[in-house]
């Protein structure tokens, strides 16, 4: 079975951090591609080892990624 999840990847220092907001799981890598692949591996490991109760408890089915305009100063 496949599940489509969100990956938010951002530069942090000399590398990249990848976050899956649906499960609040993160990973990192030296490139965008490696950060995404490391996140995929972390998610697969989570699904292999977590109980169905933990998955249901952590999985947020509605996640919205958007931008907001805010006043600064």
Name the token pair of 42: 């972390």
Summarize the chain as % helix, strand, coil (round to 5).
35, 20, 45
pTM: 0.88
Query: In this predicted structure, what is the pLDDT of residue 61?
Result: 86
For the chain, list the domains and their CATH numbers: 1-73 (3.30.160.250)
Mean of pLDDT values over 57-67: 91
**5-43 pLDDT tens trace:** 999 999 999 999 999 999 999 999 999 999 999 999 999
């Amino acid at each position: 079975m496949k599940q489509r999840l969100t990956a938010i990847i951002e530069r942090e220092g000399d590398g990249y951090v990848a976050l899956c907001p649906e499960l609040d799981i993160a990973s990192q890598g030296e490139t965008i591609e490696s950060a995404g692949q490391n996140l995929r591996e972390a998610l697969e490991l989570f699904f292999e080892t977590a109980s169905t109760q933990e998955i249901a408890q952590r999985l947020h089915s509605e996640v919205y990624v958007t931008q907001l305009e805010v006043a600064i100063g």
